């Protein structure tokens, strides 16, 4: 009943066009009510947001395509086997070692290519948005190091990809009828896979972990409207969340979806 009461109050504020500050306060209380997040609560929350969007009688609908990168992806990429056999409890942050006379190459933190698309509804200064992002590792994550005993060179390789579907709402402000800035929060449904490989004269280990999570989302961006229908912009988004512990043979790890997305966008706008 408490959840339903917050939903009703939120809808009332939207319909009566109350101040943004009051909307944010009730949205904050609504998020607290739904925490900790579960699949059922997420679906109910999404349905409530979409219902709110319908109630707002949106004055603008837009679709956009995004391209960018994720400077750091996969978190630490730690796993149980690395901690036990390579003394690297923090994964990629602990994996790099060197020793005189041994040829090694630094294992850099991986970064990824981001491809995305969004649908957004705006009524005055409030927006609701749903999207999809695909992230694939394109650099870093491989090299060589020295084993804890300092006797062997170990070839190291990490890989990760992920897909997430974020749902956000927030405030969008239009200036001079040609520029807009926005900021919002929300949740996402994320699914992805992380794998590792370690090989040396005496070691040959590889493992793969596939899982899902419900990360929290925060975003901000801007766009310039070339006309009533066409825009270009940029966006920064942060996801925070990782999967439950996943086992593969004698190894175990989590798929970490946390990190920043930095993207450029092109959009089409339709007024109603």
Please tell me the predicted confidence (pLDDT) of residue 99. 81
Please tell me the predicted confidence (pLDDT) of residue 218. 95
Q: Among the listed ranges 29-33, 97-101, 109-113, which one has the minimum average pLDDT value?
A: 29-33
Q: Which residues of the chain form beta strands (DSSP E)?
A: 60-70, 111-123, 126-139, 142-146, 153-175, 179-199, 204-213, 216-225, 230-240, 246-248, 251-253, 259-271
Q: What is the mean pLDDT of residues 174-181?
A: 88
pLDDT band (50, 70, 90) for residue 30: low
Q: Using omega within 30 degrees of 0 as the cis cutoff, is the peptide bond preceding 10 cis?
A: no
pLDDT band (50, 70, 90) for residue 19: very low
Q: Among the listed ranges 42-56, 137-151, 222-236, 243-257, which one has the minimum average pLDDT value?
A: 42-56
Please report, for the chain, the start and end positions of each structural domain, with discontinuous segments joined by +: 59-271
Q: What is the mean pLDDT of residues 98-125?
A: 88
Please tell me the predicted confidence (pLDDT) of residue 187. 93
What is the model's pTM? 0.77
Asked if residue 65 has pLDDT above 60, the reply is yes
Please tell me the predicted confidence (pLDDT) of residue 174. 87
Q: Looking at domain 59-271, which CATH architecture does it have?
A: Beta Barrel (2.40)
């Amino acid at each position: 009943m408490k959840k339903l009461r917050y939903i009703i109050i939120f809808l009332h504020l939207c319909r009566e066009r109350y101040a943004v500050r009051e909307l944010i306060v009730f949205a904050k209380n609504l998020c607290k009510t739904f925490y900790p997040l579960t699949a059922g609560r997420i679906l109910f929350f999404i349905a409530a947001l979409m219902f709110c969007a319908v109630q707002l009688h949106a004055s603008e609908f837009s679709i956009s395509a995004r391209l960018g990168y994720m400077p750091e992806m996969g978190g630490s990429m730690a796993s149980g086997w690395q901690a036990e056999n390579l003394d690297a409890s923090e994964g990629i942050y602990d994996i790099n070692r060197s020793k005189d006379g041994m040829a090694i190459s630094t294992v850099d933190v991986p970064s990824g290519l981001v491809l995305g698309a969004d649908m957004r509804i705006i009524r005055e200064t409030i927006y609701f948005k749903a999207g999809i992002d695909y992230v694939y590792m394109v650099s870093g994550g491989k090299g060589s190091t020295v084993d804890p005993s300092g006797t062997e060179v170990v070839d190291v390789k990490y890989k990760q990809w992920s897909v997430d579907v974020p749902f956000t709402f927030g405030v969008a402000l239009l200036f001079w009828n040609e520029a807009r800035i926005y900021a919002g929060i929300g949740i996402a449904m994320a699914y992805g896979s992380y794998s590792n490989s370690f090989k040396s004269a005496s070691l040959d280990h590889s493992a793969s972990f596939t899982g899902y999570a419900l990360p929290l989302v925060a975003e901000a961006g801007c766009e310039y409207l070339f006309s009533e229908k066409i825009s270009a912009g940029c966006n920064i988004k942060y996801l925070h969340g990782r999967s439950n512990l996943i086992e593969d043979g004698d190894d175990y790890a989590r798929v970490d979806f946390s990190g920043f997305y930095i993207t450029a966008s092109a959009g089409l706008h339709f007024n109603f």
